[in-house]
Chains A and B, each alone.
Chain A
């Protein structure tokens, strides 16, 4: 299994509080991604990174920010959590972002915003 660790795995927080989810990889892969999974929507890309300090927005980036100061860590921050951000968040990594690339997923972080 790919070495991907997400933390925390479960979190309950209140509306308006900041939340940071961490993704740590031991594979030295260049590309890292944050997805959210909601029933009926599949997985939607929030942000991704193609190298240290190189990040870009995905399709549902509003209300989220990311940082990548080291190859192995990719942080997802909700500056002021809202109930619509209740979801399961998955980190994924890929050695190649091109057509032949494969995504390896972490086990997910379940976030509940009350």
Chain B
């Protein structure tokens, strides 16, 4: 079945440290991948998306993700975590309908 898998339901980093949130997709998933972020008690908002073209995608708030077909991965990174990055992050794909992974909660320690 088509799916995305987010490795790690909870990730904790120190402020200023690298953020790496992992997302792998099944090979049958069409290459229309995205990351959304959900702040507490809010709906989700788009961080970035990959459709075609450059495989390194830059998003809002300093986040970026690289589409790696050979590894079937679309990991989300940010060089330096900020307290305001604490949220839940969802990887997913879009093929007429939008499908989401199970989410990764990011905790940022002072």
Q: Are A102 and B97 in contact (CB under 8 A)?
A: no
A58–B98 Cα gap in the complex (Å)?
Answer: 10
A-B contact count (CB 8 A): 59
Size class of A's contact patch?
20 to 34
Chain B interface helix/strand/loop/mixed: strand
Number of interface residues of B (CB under 8 A): 25
A40–B90 Cα gap in the complex (Å)?
Answer: 11
A33–B49 Cα gap in the complex (Å)?
Answer: 19
A62 CB to nearest B CB, Å: 17
Q: Is B45 an interface residue (CB 8 A)?
A: yes
A40–B9 Cα gap in the complex (Å)?
Answer: 8
Q: Which residues of B contact A (CB under 8 A)?
A: 6, 9, 30, 32, 36, 41-46, 49, 51, 90, 92, 94-103
